[in-house]
Homo-oligomer: A and B are copies of this chain.
Amino acid sequence: MSVTRPEGFRASATTAGLKPSGKPDLALIVRDAASAGAGVVAGFAACFTRNAMVGAPVTIGLELRRRALATEDGGAVPRAILVNAGNSNAATGEPGLAAARACMAEAARTLGCREEQVLPSSTGVIGRVLPVERITRAIPALVESASRGEAADAAAAAAIMTTDLVPKRAFAEVMINGHAVRIGAIGKGSGMIAPRLDSASGPGAPSATMLAFITTDAAVRSRDLQAILDRSAAETFNRISVDNHASCSDTVAVLASGMAGMGSGAPAAVPMKPLEPGSAGFGAFASALRGVCEDLARQIVTDGEGATRTFRVTVRGAQTEAEAEAMAREVVNSPLVKCAIHGKDPNWGRIVTAAGNAGVRFDAGEASLTIGEGHGAVEVYRAGLPVPSALADPRLKDAMGGRHVECVLTVGRGPASAWMMGCDLSAAYVSINADYTT
Name the segment of A218-226, A254-262, A350-358 touching the other chain. A350-358
Q: Is A191 an interface residue (CB 8 A)?
A: yes
B residues near A354, Cβ cutoff 8 Å: 245
Q: Is the CB of B339 within 8 A of A53?
A: no
Chain B nearest CB, measured from A395 CB (Å) = 15
Q: Is the CB of B345 within 8 A of A435?
A: yes
Q: Is the CB of B353 within 8 A of A245?
A: yes
- Complex-state Cα separation, A429 to B430, whole angstroms: 10
8 Å CB contact of A384 from B91, B361, B429, B433 = B91
Q: Is the CB of A426 within 8 A of B435?
A: no
B residues near A359, Cβ cutoff 8 Å: 50, 52
Q: Is A227 an interface residue (CB 8 A)?
A: no
Chain B nearest CB, measured from A351 CB (Å) = 10
Q: Is the CB of A245 within 8 A of B357?
A: yes
Copies of this chain, tallied across the complex: 2
Q: Is the CB of A383 within 8 A of B333?
A: no
- Complex-state Cα separation, A353 to B92, whole angstroms: 13
In A334-357, which residues have CB < 8 Å from any B CB? Answer: 334-337, 339-340, 342-343, 345-350, 352-357
B residues near A355, Cβ cutoff 8 Å: 52-53
Q: Is the CB of B433 within 8 A of A339?
A: yes
Q: Is the CB of A93 within 8 A of B385?
A: yes
8 Å CB contact of A342 from B51, B196, B362, B434 = B434
Binary flags per residue of A229-248, CB closer than 8 Å to B gives 1, else 0: 00000000000000111111
B residues near A191, Cβ cutoff 8 Å: 336
Q: Is the CB of A438 within 8 A of B345?
A: yes
- Complex-state Cα separation, A385 to B53, whole angstroms: 12
With most chain B CB atoms within 10 A of its CB, the pick from A53, A364, A365 is A53
Please give me the residue from chain B that is nearest to A335 by CB atom.
Answer: B243
Q: Is A90 an interface residue (CB 8 A)?
A: yes
Name the segment of A60-68, A123-131, A170-178, A180-188 touching the other chain. A123-131
Contacts A52-B358, A335-B335 given; 12 further ones with Cβ under 8 A? A52-B357, A53-B352, A91-B352, A91-B381, A93-B384, A93-B385, A127-B386, A245-B353, A335-B425, A339-B432, A343-B436, A345-B438
- List the interface of chain A (C-beta within 8 A of B): 50-54, 88, 90-93, 95, 125-129, 191-192, 196, 207, 243-248, 333-337, 339-340, 342-343, 345-350, 352-362, 364-365, 367, 381, 383-386, 425-427, 429-438
5 contacts between A and B (CB under 8 A): A53-B362, A126-B350, A245-B350, A247-B353, A335-B433
